[in-house]
Structure 1
């Protein structure tokens, strides 16, 4: 009996599938090629100086919040906090380079453990694949959780297990905490423009709880003698001005996107956003357009050229909609702006680790501090103006005049949006 010949409809479907796979493969190959070429072009380029806002401390509720926009200032205070620790240090980072700055942090943590301080460390395995294995060897005095490159195990189809640990947290002795966009490495110390905060008061307990929840959720990946849970006491008071919004993919919790949508929808005077990688979904784009349409001063600040060229090209695909709606777009020059901040109406602010993209808002472990306080909002507005002075505003006429190959590249790479 001869095999059945496929029908015309089946042949057409196969052809369509092959065509789509071929196009997707070409798109992916072009994206990889663009990244490699861009990386080669950056070799040997000397970083340029950029304006920074000195650390500024304001009272918020029963504590204080200090803002940092220059890595050197931040690292000095973080190291000082670790060196002054008496009981406990909780340290979590996405990228932990094995360079001079990374070694300095590692030594400070080891020294703290050697003098009897309980030291817990978390870092993301995938983000540090290129870091020397020798650097990632820690003495047994440190309790270290390396979040694995592949966390799904045999649960291939469990999407809750594919998020990266993109958070950056330091908590010392229940008295001081740090959170924001800065990873740990020499380049971030002087070459990148990022934003981080230091906080004191009752809000530190919530930051500590954030660390402990992640540790306890993943502690079974540790060696047996260190796999005990991290126990917490209950905070004596709440800080009503500050909330920590946490994305926890394992529990299917993604509140940061909702936080942004609520702030944008409630804004009636201004909302100024700084983002390293701006790849929103259409709901966020529509919210920004609607805010601009009702007279809100909506401003977006992004890198002129980020460290991920494909993200830049895909991000530009949203510019036409936003500019046509009256959103003002500023592109930061001479340095990589990596901050993830926003402020609205002189009252609401957020500083954190989450980018406005699919990976951060619907995939990774992230944390953003949400604050209702006029003094912190004023500080972030001052930082915004300083950054704006080092930016180029993109006008609608300039954008519409871009050449044909740029338009084609933006359109051709658009299907990659769900991957970023």
Structure 2
């Protein structure tokens, strides 16, 4: 009696099952070893380089850059305390710790003196925070972006994006946007970047908040205002998954295509899609110098390994990769040719560029670009450059892990 051959479906299933088991074991192993490394790192961790807040006058108002959470949070609280008319506050994460309570108290105090206060936070990102923390005093309008927002259409991409934005607008005269979430850890232990803007560009931030709120809460609509300023040198780009609108990705592609001299990127999670990777490689081929700062060990270790899958091609092309040591770098910034700058909430990965609600400010201004390049240079003092020789000497086990995890790239 001849042994029957397994069916093609059975073979495919066995291969998929073997890969899933291998990936699971790989992820567990990576997370375990990374946890040990973080403990050891914490024992020897030192402070990281900080650039003091600095203001630059742009064509649409002043832009002040922050690279240390304590400085930023103090100025955000001061802005809320000075509010007279209305406050829009939106954050992906608001921890229920001392820093989170400080913001909550300031928002409630503003509402108590008659200021219209609106608060938005992401339900999924804050699952670990006690629900009671988000019970605000009367007068504070609160929107919890739902964990599940697809309703009876679970497979529609329009409903799966998280609200990853971080926005504060006070009295339509001052606005804050960038990578900082709210929490004590972010105040002193993470290296991130935020920007404070004044002038006509604040309208764009306020309008982004109003549109989002009115879409989710049409019965409590906020009345917006128009703007007479059409100056394109300072623009706010916002991803709107519900409308399948993702301009931040296009912003990056167009800016990279314009580069003639240098590109400097700081990325918390660097998992570029084929178009952005191709644009960077094409820029390098025409002689553009490209430097990228990434975390040595981030708070999402799997993304580190997915990012590593691109290092070989980048290093081979002459892109310089710098790994930030001992602390998490969470910034999402880029400067090009000393003229163009973006600061915002969007990472260079699929989730941010074609998935989540995100918001970035784009500024064409040599003074701001020069300041961000100075910040980049200071950050480099806390980095170790990954050379092609270092990369070639990595362990064989590391190469296997990169290969096993590579199919996950389109998911993140």
Q: TM-score range by the shorter chain?
A: over 0.9
Q: Quick check: 1:195 aligned with 2:193?
A: yes
Q: How does 1:33-112 map to 2 (within 5 A)?
A: 34-35=30-31, 38-39=34-35, 42=38, 45=42, 47-112=45-110
CA distance in 1, matches of 2:299, 2:139: 36
Q: Quick check: 1:30 aligned with 2:26?
A: yes
Task: Please report how far the alpha carbon of residue 137 of structure 1 lies from its aligned counterpart in structure 2 after TM superposition.
Answer: 1.6
| Superposition misfits of 4+ residues, deviation over 4 angstroms | none
Q: Quick check: 1:152 aligned with 2:150?
A: yes
Whether the 8 Å contact between 2:189 and 2:328 is mirrored in structure 1 is yes
Match of 1:349 in 2: 341
Match of 2:318 in 1: 326
Task: Please report how far the alpha carbon of residue 179 of structure 1 lies from its aligned counterpart in structure 2 after TM superposition.
Answer: 0.1
CA distance in 2, matches of 1:102, 1:249: 28
| SS in structure 1 at match of 2:385 | strand
CA distance in 1, matches of 2:329, 2:373: 16
| SS in structure 1 at match of 2:129 | coil
| TM-score of the two chains, using structure 2 as the length reference | 0.95
Structure 1 residues 128 and 40: CA distance shift in structure 2, 3 A:
farther
| SS in structure 2 at match of 1:163 | coil
- Which stretch shifts more, 123-132 or 255-264? 255-264
CA distance in 2, matches of 1:105, 1:14: 56
CA distance in 2, matches of 1:140, 1:416: 45
Whether the 8 Å contact between 1:271 and 1:343 is mirrored in structure 2 is yes
Task: Please report how far the alpha carbon of residue 32 of structure 1 lies from its aligned counterpart in structure 2 after TM superposition.
Answer: 4.9
Which ranges of structure 1 fall in alignment gaps of 5 or more residues? 1-6, 221-226
1:328-363 superposed Cα distances (whole Å, 9 cap, x missing partner): 111111211000000001111100000000100111
State the number of aligned residues: 407
Match of 2:202 among 201, 204, 212: 204
Match of 2:126 in 1: 128
Which ranges of structure 2 fall in alignment gaps of 5 or more residues? none
Match of 2:265 in 1: 273
Whether the 8 Å contact between 2:26 and 2:401 is mirrored in structure 1 is no
| TM-score of the two chains, using structure 1 as the length reference | 0.93
Whether the 8 Å contact between 1:48 and 1:191 is mirrored in structure 2 is no
Whether the 8 Å contact between 1:202 and 1:238 is mirrored in structure 2 is no
Match of 2:400 in 1: 408
Task: Please report how far the alpha carbon of residue 25 of structure 1 lies from its aligned counterpart in structure 2 after TM superposition.
Answer: 4.6
| SS in structure 1 at match of 2:255 | helix
Q: CA RMSD in A?
A: 1.6
Q: How does 1:383-402 map to 2 (within 5 A)?
A: 383-402=375-394
CA distance in 2, matches of 1:199, 1:355: 21
Match of 1:228 in 2: 220
| SS in structure 2 at match of 1:399 | helix
Match of 2:242 among 246, 250, 273: 250
CA distance in 1, matches of 2:26, 2:85: 51
CA distance in 2, matches of 1:233, 1:36: 52
Whether the 8 Å contact between 2:59 and 2:233 is mirrored in structure 1 is yes
